[in-house]
Structure 1
């Protein structure tokens, strides 16, 4: 097996905060082939939770991840995107697929940071990813093919439902699925309060309210 083929099957995850860790947990739960997964984070303490996971290699830097992975998931804050992308760009080539989870950062901006014709797919999961129930929207940049979008769809289906959309709709969907879930949470909490007021234990009232909302 060539280095390129081996690299092409591997996934790199830069950033293991809330969303990054949720994606990683979903991959670990769903990927029966246990493809290689390389991870890094600027806060080393966040990586310790995954030290004992089979198939995961903790890397000392973002650049080390980029050297080893054919598919790169960037789960970093929008304000950090430029510096992270520019640092890993020298280790990417035309076959590398970059997946951005940064809210509000268009693919065209990321492509400009890369400084070359590279495949970029923008995705927006929501907090449901923590329990495998995310609603994720994705769109490809000008250098990403339909096959690239399908590849990302397959990866992120590990954390819930995935929809391929036009980039012009991404910001609307971010508000709808990202912020909208907070309104449902408030409704569920209010329903549970009603159950408690009527005499139900809190845990039972909350469980019934949450399942009813689903």
Structure 2
């Protein structure tokens, strides 16, 4: 019998598959002084995402309104997962909560620490998605989904994941589920629909004629 992955694990596979190619190899050269500064700026922004108030992260962001909304989607899904884990731990103290750090600030920081940093003038990237701009002599995050595929994940999958988790939390707190597996089964239809929508968008983008 094939082992079934949790809905959260399956959902995050799409994002991880996109970013895997950008992870720095073990034998890659060490960062230059400028690369160290860029990487530190990206990680500092991730720390701001840990605050429940998105305004903290927004104040350090220099992207457009559209890019701000992408960052807000990331902030929302991170905090929805945090609330869900807390609810599971309280309602099911003898059960393991959702595993993995893909939707956590710590997980984001770990990936940022491994991603390749590239710099071109006053623009830099950390991995495939994090774009920074040099403003007033300081590096600041301008986009958290610069890669087209990553943008599809953030705009399609993250809101669906946030909604599914926030919707199920009251039922977890009310003791409706005996195990996290039962909880994930309740979330599965919405997550499957979101994954299907993401797949369709990516296929459409892949077949769209280039200008």
Q: Which TM-score bucket, shorter chain as reference?
A: under 0.3
Q: Which one has the bigger helix percentage?
A: 2
What TM-score, normalized to structure 1? 0.26
Indicate the structure with greater strand content: 1
- Greater RCO, 1 or 2 (C-alpha within 8 Å, sep 6+): 2
TM-score (norm 2): 0.26
